[in-house]
C-alpha cells in the first residue's frame, strides 16, 4: 500500500496534462485530494470521473484565491503539496511587453511560492512539497526567455525552501519534465515551428514522454519512498538534457 493512502494531498493545476496525470496516480494510490483549476468548467470532467475529489476554483498566481484551498482542507493536515501550475505566452527580449513578462513569472514562480506559503501551516513533519519545473530552466532557446528564467527560479525555490523548512521536517523537491505530450507542449512546438518528428531524435529513450511518466516521478517525490531526498531536481526528459 502506498504511503499516501488515506492521506490528504493538494494539487494545483490538476485538471489536465501533467497535473491531471498526477491526480490520477494519487487516486490510484488511495490518496484524498484537493485539486485546483482556474474555472469551474476545467473541473467538470475531473469531477465526473472522480466525484470524491475536492475541487476548488482558484488561480494559484493570486495568493488570496489560494485561501480557498486552505478552507477546503478544513484544518486537516496535508501530506503532500504538488505545485503544478505553469505556462504563459512566448516571450522575446526585443519585443515582449511587460504584461507578458508578468504573466509568465506569476504563473510559474509566484504560484509556486504562494502555494507553499499558504498551505505551510497545514504541513507537518514528514510532509513533502513537489514543485514542477522544466528542463527549460537549463536551456536558453529563443522565444521562451522569460519561461526559461522562471523555471530556473522554480528549481531554485526547491533548494531554498528545503533549507528554510528543514527544521520542520518538510522536504521540497523539483521535477523537471522534458518534452511531454500535453496541450502545452503542442502550443510550444507550434510557436517554435517544429514537429514531434523533429524532437524525437533528440530523445535517447526514443519517444516523447507521456504525462503518466512524469506523474510517476512526482508521486515518488511526494511519498515516503523518497524520504532521504530533499532540495533535489529529478529530471524526467528521456535523457534529452543528458547527451
Active-site residue set = 147
Q: Angle formed by the axes of helices 111-119 and 63-73, to 10°? A: 40
β pairing state of 8-12 and 32-37: parallel
Beta bridge partners of 118: none
The count of other CB atoms within 10 Å of the CB of residue 37 is 25
How many Å apart are CA 46 and CA 44, to the nearest integer?
5
- Residues present in the chain in total: 243
CA-CA distances (angstroms) from residue 202 to 117, 214, 241? Answer: 38, 18, 9
Give residues with Cβ within 8 angstroms of 99, minimum separation 6. none
Amino acid at each position: 500500500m502506498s504511503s499516501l493512502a488515506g492521506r490528504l494531498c493538494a494539487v494545483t493545476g490538476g485538471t489536465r496534462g501533467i497535473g491531471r496525470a498526477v491526480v490520477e496516480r494519487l487516486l490510484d494510490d488511495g490518496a484524498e485530494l484537493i485539486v485546483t483549476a482556474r474555472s469551474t468548467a476545467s473541473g467538470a470532467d475531473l469531477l465526473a470521473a472522480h466525484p470524491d475529489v475536492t475541487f476548488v476554483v482558484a488561480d494559484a498566481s493570486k495568493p488570496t484565491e489560494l485561501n480557498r484551498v486552505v478552507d477546503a482542507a478544513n484544518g486537516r493536515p496535508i501530506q503532500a503539496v504538488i505545485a503544478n501550475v505553469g505556462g504563459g505566452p512566448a516571450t522575446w527580449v526585443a519585443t515582449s511587453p511587460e504584461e507578458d513578462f508578468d504573466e509568465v513569472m506569476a504563473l510559474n514562480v509566484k504560484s509556486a511560492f504562494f502555494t507553499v506559503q499558504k498551505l505551510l501551516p497545514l504541513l507537518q513533519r514528514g510532509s513533502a512539497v513537489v514543485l514542477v519545473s522544466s528542463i527549460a530552466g537549463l536551456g536558453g532557446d529563443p522565444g521562451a526567455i522569460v519561461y526559461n528564467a522562471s523555471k530556473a527560479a522554480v528549481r531554485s525555490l526547491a533548494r531554498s525552501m528545503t533549507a528554510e523548512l528543514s527544521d520542520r521536517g518538510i522536504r521540497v523537491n523539483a521535477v523537471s519534465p522534458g518534452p511531454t505530450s500535453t496541450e502545452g507542449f503542442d502550443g510550444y512546438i507550434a510557436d517554435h515551428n517544429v514537429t514531434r518528428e523533429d524532437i524525437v531524435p533528440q530523445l535517447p529513450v526514443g519517444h516523447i514522454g507521456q504525462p503518466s511518466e512524469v506523474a510517476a516521478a512526482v508521486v515518488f517525490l511526494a511519498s515516503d519512498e523518497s524520504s532521504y531526498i530533499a532540495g533535489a531536481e529529478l529530471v524526467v526528459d528521456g535523457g534529452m538534457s543528458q547527451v
